Amino acid sequence: MIDLHTHTFFSDGALLPSELARRARFAGYQALALTDHADASNLLHLLEDVARVASQGAAYHGVDLLLGVELTHVPPALIGRTVETARLNGAQIVLVHGETVVEPVEVGTNLAAIEAGVDVLAHPGLITPEDARLAAEKGVYLEITTRKGHSLTNGHVAVMARRFGVKLVINNDAHASGDLVSRELRRNVALGAGLSEQEYLEAEANARAILAATLGSGRR
């Protein structure tokens, strides 16, 4: 299993990066992306601090670790330049906190994230057909999430992804060890969102492809 969306106590998570990695390994995960919430106020020092752990990777923690961020409540007009700054300063994977229906995310965030070419648009809520079509064109992955609240619109995301050919990934949005769900629950959440068994397997394969491409590119 691979989780491309996790949080540590560098933002609103409960665990040190090293403890999250260890607990993920114990729960059966092969890889994690460490993607704490970020905006202009903390982006640079967050990447610098977490890089010290992420660079140790599987050799130290027993799991592959990707250095990432989840840009959160960044004004849409600033998302493009913030994504660029994150990549220039070492982020291997960039997520944007999408327009979930359980938080007051600014309208236009989904579109700005897709236009910026983020890797994954997290919990995109009631994503519009226009934005889903653009995500397919830009190769931006949409997230099916196991996290309570954000998962309320998984079914809509699945429908939009199928309609427009957008690739999906399944993430936990883990904030604590209890959020690292089992393989069975990941599958059940995906099927509960309306994915077929084949679509569920494709979503899991997509995460493996992202991991392989990132590690193979030398973006360590």
The pLDDT value recorded for residue 193 is 98
pLDDT tens for each residue of 171-205: 999 999 999 999 999 999 999 999 999 999 999 99
Per-residue pLDDT band at 220 (split at 50, 70, 90)? very low
123-147 mean pLDDT: 98
What residues does each domain of the chain span?
2-216
Cα separations in angstroms, 119 against 58, 60, 70: 22, 26, 10
The pLDDT value recorded for residue 134 is 98
Q: Are strands 64-71 and 2-6 parallel, antiparallel or unpaired?
A: unpaired
Is 3.40.630.30 the CATH number for 2-216? Answer: no
Tell the residue number behind the tokens 């990941």, with chain if given.
186
Q: Which of 178, 158, 152 is nearest to 170 (CA)?
A: 158
When comparing pLDDT for 166 and 219, which is higher?
166
Q: What pTM does this model have? A: 0.96
Per-residue pLDDT band at 159 (split at 50, 70, 90)? very high
Largest CA distance in the chain: 43
CA distance 130 to 111: 9
Whether residue 219 has pLDDT greater than 70: no
pLDDT tens for each residue of 59-111: 778 899 999 999 999 999 999 999 999 999 999 999 999 999 999 999 999 99
